[in-house]
Structure 1
Amino acid sequence: MNSIKNRIAKGLALILPGIFLLGFNIGTGSVTAMAKAGATYGMSLLWTIVASCLATFFMINLYSRYTMVTGETALQAFRKHIHPAVGIFFIVALTTGVMGSVMGVMGIVADISFVWSKSFIPGGISPIYFAAFYIALVYIIFWKGETKFFERTLAVIVAIMSAAFLVNFFILMPPPVEIFNGLIPNIPDVIDEQGKGPFLVIASLIGTTVFSGLFIIRTTLVKEAGWTIKDAKTQRNDAIFSVSLMFVISMSVMAAAAGTLYPEGLGLSRASQMIELLVPLAGKMAASIFAFGIISAGVSSQFPNVLMLPWLLCDYNQSPREMKLPKYRIIVLLISLLGLVVPVFDAPPVFVMIVSQAFNSVILPLTVGSIIYLGNRKDLMGKYQFSLFTNIILTLILAFSVFTSYIGINGVLQLI
Structure 2
Amino acid sequence: MDKITTFFKLLLPGIFLFGFTVGTGSVTSMAKAGADYGMSLLWTIFISCAITFFLISLFGKFTLATGLTALQAFKKHIHPAVSLFFIVALTTQISGSVIGVMGILADVCYEWSKNFVDGGISPLYCSLFFIAFVYVIFLIGKIEVFEKVLALFVAVMAVCFLINFFILMPPAMDIAQGMIPNIPDTSPDKSAFLVIASMVGTTVFSGLFILRTILVKEAGWTLADAKIQNRDALFSAFLMFIVSMSIMAAAAGSLYVEGITLVNVTQMIYLLEPLAGAAAVTIFTIGLIAAGISSQFPNVALLPWLLDDFFERKPNLKRTSYRIIALVISSLGLIVPIFNAKPIAVMVSSQAFGALVLPATVASIFYVGNKASLMKEYKFSTVTNVLLVLIFIFALVMSYMSYNGIMTTLRSL
Alignment TM-score, normalising by the size of structure 2 = 0.97
Amino acid at match of 1:68: L
Q: 2:204 aligns with which of 186, 204, 210?
A: 210
Which residue number in structure 2 is paired with residue 234 of structure 1?
228
CA distance in 2, matches of 1:168, 1:303: 25
Residues 335, 343 of structure 2: 8 Å contact kept: no
Q: 1:101·1:352 contact (CA, 8 Å) conserved in 2?
A: no
How far apart, CA to CA, are the structure 2 residues paired with 1:151 and 1:200? 33
Tell whether 2:57 aligns with 1:61. Answer: yes
User: Who is 1:225 aligned against?
Assistant: 219
More moved, 296-305 vs 343-352: 343-352
Q: How does 1:98-117 map to 2 (within 5 A)?
A: 98-117=94-113
Shift of 1:410: 1.6
Correspondence list, 1:405-416, <5 A? 405-416=399-410
CA deviations on 1:280-331 (whole Å, 9 max, x unpaired) are 1111110111011111000000000011111110000011211111111111
- 1:241-297 C-alpha deviation (Å, 9 max, x unpaired): 111000000000000000000011111001100111001111111011101111100
Q: Per-residue deviation at 1:365? A: 0.1
2:379 is equivalent to residue 385 of structure 1? yes
> For 1:41-120, what aligned pairs fall within 5 Å after superposition?
41-120=37-116
SS in 2 for 1:367: helix
Q: Which one of 312, 315, 332 corresponds to residue 321 of structure 1? A: 315
Consecutive unaligned residues in structure 2, runs of 5 or more: none
Query: SS at the partner of 2:6?
Result: helix
- Matched residue count: 410
2:16 maps to: 20
| Separation in 2, partners of 1:396, 1:63 | 17
Give the CA deviation at 1:120.
Answer: 2.1
Cα deviations by residue, 1:17-37 (Å, 9 ceiling, x for unpaired): 001101100000000000000
Give the Cα–Cα distance (whole angstroms) in 1 for the partners of residues 75 and 125 of structure 2. 42
Q: Aligned letter for 1:152?
A: K
Rounded to whole Å, the distance in 2 between the matches of 1:350 and 1:73 is 34
Question: Match for residue 153 of structure 1?
Answer: 149
More displaced 10-residue stretch of structure 1: 357-366 or 230-239 = 357-366
**Do the aligned residues in 1 keep the contact of 2:366 with 2:385 (CA within 8 Å)?**
yes
Residue 123 (structure 1) aligns with: 119
Moved over 3 A (4+): 349-355
User: Does 2:158 match 1:162?
Assistant: yes
- Structure 2 letter corresponding to 1:96: T
Q: CA deviation at 1:354?
A: 6.2
Match for residue 171 of structure 2 among 167, 170, 175 = 175
User: Shift of the alpha carbon at 1:111?
Assistant: 0.6
- Secondary structure (helix, strand or coil) at the match of 2:181 reads coil
Instruction: Please point out which of 241, 252, 269 is paired with 1:258.
Output: 252
Letter in structure 2 aligned against 1:169 = F
**Contact residue 39 and residue 267 of structure 1 kept, 8 A:** yes
Shift of 1:352: 5.9
- Equivalent position of 1:243 in the other structure: 237
CA contact (8 A) 1:104 1:350 kept: no
Report the AA paired with residue 321 of structure 2. Answer: K
Equivalent residues in 2 for 1:271-290 (5 A)?
271-290=265-284
Identity of aligned residues (%): 59
CA distance in structure 1 between the partners assigned to 2:355 and 2:289 by the alignment: 25
Pairing partner for 1:345 from 325, 339, 342: 339
1:304 pairs with 2:301: no
Q: For 1:143 and 1:250, how far apart are their aligned partners in 2?
A: 31
Paired position in structure 2 for 1:376: 370
- Report deviation, 1:187: 0.7
How far apart are 1:133 and its partner, in Å? 0.3
Structure 1 position 189 matched with structure 2 position 181: no
Q: Take 1:296 and 1:357, find their aligned partners in 2: how far apart are those partners?
A: 24
Cα gap change, 1:290 to 1:350, in 2 (>3 Å): farther
Query: Is the 1:24–1:300 contact (alpha carbons within 8 Å) kept by the matching residues of 2?
Result: yes
SS in 1 for 2:266: helix
Give the TM-score normalised by structure 1: 0.96
- 1:201-222, Cα deviation, whole Å (9 max, x unpaired): 1000100000000000000000
Contact 1:75 1:316 in 2 (8 A): yes
Output the amino acid matched with 1:374: V
Q: Contact between 2:169 and 2:249, CA under 8 Å: does it hold in 1?
A: yes
